[in-house]
Amino acid sequence: MYLLWLRVAAILYAAASIAVFPAVLYGALRWRKWCVHLGGMALFFHFVSVVEMLVLAHSWLPVGVREVQSLLGLAVAGVFFLVWWLYDAISLGLFALPVTFFLVFVPSLGPDRYTFPSPGVRVSWLVAHIAALLLAYVALGFSLLASLLYLAQERRLKSKPKARPLAGEDSWWAPFDWLPPLDTLERISEAMLEFGFPCMTVGLAIGAVLVQETPLGAAYFLDPKIIAAFVSWAIYVLLLLVRRTAGLRGRRAAYLSGAVFAVMVVVWTANLFSHVHRFGAP
């Protein structure tokens, strides 16, 4: 029965993880209430699941890797709600709630290795996994491109180019006359970030399911490529939070987007050195 409660908690954690982003990034009061209520119910069902799990194991300590993951997820969620209750710091939910979901998601699949109903289903999940991550990388690339164009347009406007240069006089900024306004480039950069983040989150979640059918086990999460992917996810969250809460715009936002894109390049580079998980590997 504990597995049922854990699956209910995983679903509620996922819903709370979705609600926390508009609650924090846009200050939406309604989403804030949903986030707290859904997360609170998830914590309750998670606690019931852990108690039943330990009672069935006749032990007060976890006896397996998945039990440790579930208990660690409960600790993360418990500390987050304690901090929220004391300091009303719901911004920490941007990290705590998705991390708790990732920790609970794999144990909720069951105590044994998960198997797909057919090879076709597994291929479909694999395609979705790769497509979601590729969309995340492409979105971040467009965000970086928009930020770079923002810098070029800002420099162009500050240089005050002549609207009608004299005959025979070339304007160095003439090739950049087609650039959109600064506000448009800023909105494009931010929209691409907000589109790419859920794609990356879904891609990582599907990857956690796919690995359950392989003999990799815990070694999957020790792979340098996977570590880099989760680090880039955390930096992605930080970038969104800083841009929204600190009002980061213009040049600094472009530099920060470039840093996140550099981390993404590291993730792809790590693919060349990974011996347990890489594209094209058997």
pLDDT of residue 218: 53
pLDDT of residue 188: 86
pLDDT of residue 168: 45
7-42 pLDDT per residue, tens: 999 999 999 999 998 888 788 899 999 999 999 999
| CA 21/CA 25 separation, integer angstroms | 6
Q: What single-letter amino acid sits at 278?
A: R
pLDDT of residue 151: 79
74-93 pLDDT per residue, tens: 999 999 999 999 988 888 88
Residue among 132, 116, 245 nearest 195 (CA): 132
Given a cut of 90, whether residue 187 has pLDDT beyond it is no
Q: How many CB atoms lie within 10 A of CB 56?
A: 10
Say which residues have a Cβ less than 8 Å from residue 252's Cβ, sequence separation at least 6: none
Say which residues have a Cβ less than 8 Å from residue 208's Cβ, sequence separation at least 6: 102, 105, 106
197-219 pLDDT per residue, tens: 888 888 888 887 777 666 655 55
* Whole-prediction pTM: 0.75
pLDDT of residue 206: 83
pLDDT of residue 215: 61
pLDDT of residue 140: 82
